[in-house]
Amino acid sequence: QVQLVESGGGLVQPGGSLRLSCVVSGSIFRINSMGWYRQAPGKQRELVASASSDGSINYADSVKGRFTISRDNAKNTMFLQMNSLKPEDTAVYYCNVEFQYRSLRYDRRWGQGTQVTVSS
């Protein structure tokens, strides 16, 4: 019943920006922790950015200073703002969210993935 719906991917030139969104569809109480992952062809999926329930945020060295993770609990949505994009950022991006049901039980889901292509 609960699923994550991603959007915002696309084709962008080097140096450009994209904003990815991940909406938690279904009845939940709130988002607790979240993370953005990416996987390029022939490469292992890697953690790009994460935010824990206590507010701590961590970024991969390759994106630090360029990407920003955030969320809007009122809309059950998380975001990844990507600036100064490079060709090596090309990958399928996945969101992963740990959330709390209104019953207070915890659960987590993966998004379906959205393609980001950085090319001139």
Rounded average pLDDT over 40-46: 96
Tens-digit pLDDT profile for residues 8-33: 999 999 999 999 999 999 999 988 99
Mean pLDDT over the full length of the chain: 96
Residue 51 is predicted with a pLDDT of: 95
Asked whether residue 73 carries a pLDDT value surpassing 90, the answer given is no
Rg (the chain; Cα; Å): 14
Separation CA 76–CA 13 (nearest Å):
30
What lies within 8 Å, CB to CB, of 22 at 6+ separation is 4, 5, 6, 34, 36, 77, 78, 79, 80, 95, 97, 111
Of 24-28, 47-51, 85-89, 115-119, the range with the lowest mean pLDDT is: 24-28
Residue 53 is predicted with a pLDDT of: 87
Asked whether residue 79 carries a pLDDT value surpassing 90, the answer given is yes
Residue 95 is predicted with a pLDDT of: 98
Asked whether residue 65 carries a pLDDT value surpassing 90, the answer given is yes
